Every structure is written in C-alpha cells, then in structure tokens.
Amino acid sequence: MIPDTPKYINQRLGSINNYAWNYFFPGDSLNKRLKKLETKRERQQELARLKGIIQESSYVLYIFFLNKFFMEGSEAAKKAVDTFLEHNIEGFKIGRQVFQGRNENVMRGEVLSKKLLNSIQDEELVVLIKDSNYAYQVIERYRAIIENRQ
C-alpha cells in the first residue's frame, strides 16, 4: 500500500483496507453501485473517488488501532505494578526493563500515544480517535463522504 514501508506494516494496512471495503460494500454492493452509473468513465471516476476515501479511512483506522495498543499497554503495566505493590513488591523486571511506580517503562505507551496524536494536524480526527472505543465508530465518519453527503 505504501512504498518503502516495512512488509508487516503494509500487511496490516492491507487487512484494514479490506475491512473498510467490506464494511462499506459487503458482498456485491460495490458492483451494483457502479453499474447504476451510465458510462464507463463515470464508473472509473467513482471507483477512484471511493479508493481515496477508503484509503484515508484505512490510515485513520490504523492510527486508531495503534493508539489503542499503546494506551492498553500502559494501562496493563500500571495495573501490574499496582498489583505487585499491593503485595509489597515495588516493581518487576522483564529482561532489562524495570517496571516500577509510574516510571518511563510503565508510561511508555501513553507517551507514544501522545506523540502519535500530536503528529496529526486535523484536530477533528484526533478527537475521533481518542473518543472512539470501536473501529466502526471511526469508520462511520466516512459514510457521509462515500454517500456524497459530506
């Protein structure tokens, strides 16, 4: 999907892109939609427009999933540290990484989340990503655009 991007990232984006296409156009609904257009040129233009919308929605979904992963990682680390503390154990170590209190290892996910969201210039998208709990909440933003109701 994106040239010079590591294979595993492109695979994830490809999966998310397939999810988005199937979400908006289950079964044969895309073909039915395109067949309603009179000319081949109109069908090509509509398909190109839809590809752009679906691609953008896929990127936003990818950011949503990545952000959720970061936040859940920090939450899990905080809960683990707090649970150990309840048993008078001040922290734990995984490999060389020490997890204690709210140190940088415990908070890494939140820090990465903030950096990720700060890199997005569209404040409306940031709010959408932060306030959504599920993928469909993010992707529904694009339904009006697809239906030409922007």
Q: What is the pTM of this model?
A: 0.85
Is the pLDDT confidence value at 3 over 60?
Answer: yes
| Per-residue confidence (pLDDT) for residue 14, from 0 to 100 | 87
Instruction: Tell me the average pLDDT across 109-113.
Output: 97
| Beta-carbon contacts of residue 95 (< 8 Å; ≥ 6 apart) | none
Per-residue pLDDT tens for 64-77? 999 999 999 999 99
Higher pLDDT, 116 or 8: 116
The pLDDT confidence band at residue 120, using thresholds 50, 70 and 90, is: very high
Tell me which H or E stretch contains 93: strand 91-94
Residue 107's closest CA among 95, 96, 117, 97? Answer: 97
